[in-house]
Amino acid sequence: MKKIEKCGNNFIAGEWGHHDLHSLANVNPATGDVIGYFPATTKEEVNSAVDSANEAFKEWGDPSRWSWVKRAEVIDDLVQLIKSEIENIARLITLESGKHINEAVADVVEGIHMLQYCASRGRHPIGYKISSEIPEKDAETHLSPRGVCTVITPWNFPFAIPTWLIGPALVSGCPVIFKPSEETPFSGQVLVELFDRAARKHNVPKGVLNLVHGRGDVGEYLVRHEGTVGQLFTGSYAVGSKVKQIAASHHEKFSVCEMGGKNSLIVLKDANMELAVRAAVFSAFKTTHQRCVSADLIIVEESVEPEFTKQFLEMTARVKFGNPFDPDVFAGPLINERAMNKHLSNGSEILSEAEALKLGYAHRVGFFAEPNVFRMKYRPNTFTLRQEFFTPNVVIIPVKDFEEALFVANDTEYGLSMALITEDYRKMREFKIRGKAGLKYVNLPSIGAEVHLPFGGMRRSGTGMPSAAWLFNYLSHESAFTINYGTDIKMAQGLSAKI
């Protein structure tokens, strides 16, 4: 009998539940072992979480009771608690997501960075003073928190992404109902457990942060709930577009969604070849290609494509996929059977359009996948160019020049991440201006964003409202506040004030 690592519980209105019923199993993708069980939250429990968040909002969102500085101080304490638990949290992340231990540590560190940023925002200016046409008038903007937010997060960054959404919401004064992915419930729960410890010290109202476990039905019920306003979501396009539709049909709801990507790395003929190959391997295979910023396409100027491809295949052959706790391993398994099936079916679809340079999936064991590498000339509207892969399939596309490379990279309905490898500073600028993506990198992989930058995609990749640090821009209603200190009424635009 394997050791049960953790017991999953909801956290509603400041109380931890004790769930023995409605239990879902949390499975380690590297071994198939059950790590523990967690509840499938009922509608009644979700209702209680929403009610408690709205009750908490009356206090937490009231600037006379909780200033930005005070709210941020709770987050600062949370950061200290997380720092003392990095190894334990990382271990749990690796156990439940299969992510390599080095990446799991980076996931926690990214969460720390995000929460440090959020804590610092408490002492930033809030709003603007704005000059008026009428000298006796003062104008300013005033920020009010928008209200209760749902936070629905994916399994590939089970600790960092929740902090991207929960941190800004809480510091802005918006209570949260958090539903972590059913694949990684415990990493999310640990964040809430540590928040609970920090919150008790500061007498934070109960219900400011609620945790409800479960599958997509729980998330959908939350998003549709009349008691939730902000829908903060990171995950697939299929789910995110549904969240957007639900929010759009309601007078008050808004959604900030981060969705998929169809990302490219471009290698030009003047590129530093060693850097290009390493950047490509990182972009294609880190996290077993399970980042929304992983590169599906490597677009290479044809004069250097044979040399690039040779070196890329050599380096790919050296990259080890295996036990995520082994320090010599580069990346762990895929998350589950569905991902493995997608890997296989995407691989065979691509194979019908492209030439196979390496077919790794023949060597699969459990959810461990070796990468597939293909080569294809650009052809519009192909599966290869349209479908987001999300498993280690990668396609090299030779092109005649930079213009064609940029055209191919932009020829997608997504727009999350893009990278260019070149020494040509003019092309760097062209890429910055004309690349259609929310994250653009030069002489770097397409992965590895820092949280104090905007993280968000164009087109199908997002709502155009980036998350991480930039989420602060969407969580407050910014109202105009104007005072007349004169004794007469004088109107702007030369409007007569005569009656």
For ligand UN1, the binding residues (CB under 6 A) are 110, 156-157, 291-293, 447-449
Q: Which of 96, 115, 72, 106 is nearest to 180 (CA)?
A: 96
- Name 476's bridge partners: 145
- Cβ proximity of 373 and 396 under 8 Å: yes
| DSSP label at residue 250 | S
- Which candidate in 292, 301, 305, 388 is catalytic? 292
Residue 322: Cβ within 10 Å count = 16
d(CA 434, CA 404): 13
- Which CB atom, from 156 or from 264, has the smaller least distance to ligand UN1? 156
The least CB distance from residue 197 to ligand UN1, in Å, is: 26
The least CB distance from residue 449 to ligand UN1, in Å, is: 3
The least CB distance from residue 161 to ligand UN1, in Å, is: 6
**161 to 87, 286, 351, 397, 491: CA distances (angstroms):** 18, 17, 34, 32, 48
- Name 219's bridge partners: none
The least CB distance from residue 181 to ligand UN1, in Å, is: 11
Burial class (CB in 10 A: 0-12, 13-18, 19+), 101: buried
- Cβ proximity of 127 and 145 under 8 Å: no
The least CB distance from residue 440 to ligand UN1, in Å, is: 12
- Which CB atom, from 100 or from 206, has the smaller least distance to ligand UN1? 100
- Which CB atom, from 95 or from 451, has the smaller least distance to ligand UN1? 451
- Catalytic-residue membership of 59: no
Q: Which of 157, 406, 443 is nearest to 292 (CA)?
A: 157
- What DSSP string runs through 302-371? TTTHHHHHHHHHHHHHH--B--TT-TT-SB---SSHHHHHHHHHHHHHHHTTSEEEEEGGGG-BTTB---
Q: Two tokens at 362? A: 């023949």
Q: Two tokens at 126? A: 């809030």
**17 to 53, 205, 207, 266, 295: CA distances (angstroms):** 16, 18, 13, 50, 41
- Which CB atom, from 159 or from 186, has the smaller least distance to ligand UN1? 159
Please give the distance of CA 48 from its chain centroid, rounded to a whole number: 27
The least CB distance from residue 156 to ligand UN1, in Å, is: 5
Buried b (16+ CB within 10 A) or exposed e, 413-436: ebbbbbbbbbeeeebeeebeeebb
- Which candidate in 103, 183, 258, 305 is catalytic? 258
Buried b (16+ CB within 10 A) or exposed e, 113-143: bbbbbbbebbeeebeeeeeeebeebebeeeb
- Which CB atom, from 210 or from 346, has the smaller least distance to ligand UN1? 346
The least CB distance from residue 427 to ligand UN1, in Å, is: 23
- Which CB atom, from 207 or from 457, has the smaller least distance to ligand UN1? 457
Maximum separation of any 2 CA atoms in the chain, in Å: 87
- Catalytic-residue membership of 450: no
- Which CB atom, from 192 or from 439, has the smaller least distance to ligand UN1? 439
The least CB distance from residue 382 to ligand UN1, in Å, is: 24
- Which CB atom, from 292 or from 369, has the smaller least distance to ligand UN1? 292
- Cβ proximity of 361 and 370 under 8 Å: yes
Residues annotated as catalytic are 258, 292
